[in-house]
Amino acid sequence: MAATTVPENTTKAHAGRPRTAGRPAGTGRGRKLRQNLQAHGFLIGAVLCFLMFSWYPMVREFIMSFQEKKRGVTSWVGFKNLDRVYHDPYFWTAWKNTAQFTLYALVIGFVVPFVVAIVLNELRHAQAYLRILVYLPVMLPPVAGVLLFKYFYNPDYGLFNHVLKALHLPTSQWLDSSHTAMISVVIAATWMSMGSATLIYLAALQNIPGELYEAADLDGAGLWSKIWHVTIPQTRLVLSMMLLLQIVATMQEFTNVYLLTGGNGPQNSTMTVVYMVYQYAFSYNNFGSAAALGLFLLLVLAAFSGVYARLNRNSD
């Protein structure tokens, strides 16, 4: 048979083409799988921590609210614990005080940080130092902050009464009076926690386009008009989120009330729902009733969050 001849140009073309080793099948798939496993490993750790410290306590509380433990024996009692805490003589007092604390915290603790953030945003000098100054109370240990305000509130030698005397104004009993105890706790709590909210508001304000304020200036808008028509609408999402978070947080207030007034306060004026939970659990050793009262609070906050989310969605 005649030998087959290969065209010269074809041979040169094949000779100039580099030989590549064949890539094993599935190599790219295996690398992607290893990357996904690594990412899911970090995610699983976070999810396990969340389940252990958030969901498990909630599920455990729900179960305990229908149980009673006597002499080491746990038994199911149905709605007995819920009925017990509902008919507690201080049940509605605690809810009234909690609502009062939340209202005061919204008037003071929600408005003041936003105003401070607006002032800081308008400054052109020493803004970084003032941010640190505003955030310093957050870094202060809560017990230290409480001791500081206990000194301020002392009716005999406290700083606040000294200032009132210097201004020739009537002094106050502050934490020792049922009329001023709750507002005094709110002022202390606001001072110790306003730094975080202020920085969040400041970050939102700095993301507002400057052209909007320039257009408002051209239209002759004043300070309050610019705040109402530009600042608040542009930060509405952040304000809405912080409002929800603050209401949920203030309705669970315990630390400042307990450390400043001992929990009850004068004539039970500062007794909150969470403090009642603490009393049932650690003073009366009745964890079933404590869980039942906590379940009441959980249901109220869940209902409020649902209504709030529905109204916020409809407004969008």
Q: What is the DSSP string of 213-250?
A: HHHHHHTT--HHHHIIIIIHHHTHHHHHHHHHHHHHHH
Inside any domain, residue 32: no
Provide the mean pLDDT of the chain: 84
Inside any domain, residue 29: no
Residue 296 pLDDT > 60: yes
Give 24-69 pLDDT, tens digit per residue: 545 667 677 777 777 778 888 888 888 888 889 889 989 999 988 8
Inside any domain, residue 86: no
Inside any domain, residue 188: yes
Looking at residue 95, its pLDDT comes to 95
Token pair of 84 as six digits? 């017990």
Looking at residue 61, its pLDDT comes to 87
Whether this model's pTM surpasses 0.75? yes
In this prediction, residue 1 has a pLDDT band, given cuts at 50, 70 and 90, of: very low
Give 192-215 pLDDT, tens digit per residue: 888 889 999 999 998 888 888 888
Q: Is 69 helix (H, G, I), strand (E, B) or coil?
A: strand
Looking at residue 54, its pLDDT comes to 84
In this prediction, residue 315 has a pLDDT band, given cuts at 50, 70 and 90, of: low
Inside any domain, residue 165: yes
Per the model's pLDDT, the better-predicted residue between 219 and 21 turns out to be 219
Range of the domain at 174: 103-263
Inside any domain, residue 190: yes
Inside any domain, residue 269: no
Beta-strand pair 73-76/67-70: antiparallel
Give 92-134 pLDDT, tens digit per residue: 999 999 999 999 998 888 889 999 998 888 887 777 788 888 8
Q: Is 138 helix (H, G, I), strand (E, B) or coil?
A: helix
Average pLDDT over residues 181-189: 93
When mean pLDDT is compared across 63-77, 90-104, 158-172, 180-194, the lowest value belongs to 63-77
* DSSP H/E element including 122: helix 111-122
Token pair of 312 as six digits? 């916020």
Angle formed by the axes of helices 111-122 and 181-206, to 10°?
40
Q: Which residue type does 195 have?
A: G
Q: Is 157 helix (H, G, I), strand (E, B) or coil?
A: coil
The domain spanning residue 193 has which CATH number?
A: 1.10.3720.10
Question: Number of structural domains, the chain?
Answer: 1
Looking at residue 108, its pLDDT comes to 87
Which of 271, 295, 286 lies closest to 90 in space, CA to CA?
A: 271
Looking at residue 10, its pLDDT comes to 47
Average pLDDT over residues 261-277: 92
Residue 11 pLDDT > 70: no
Which of 190, 231, 236 lies closest to 212 in space, CA to CA?
A: 231
Inside any domain, residue 75: no
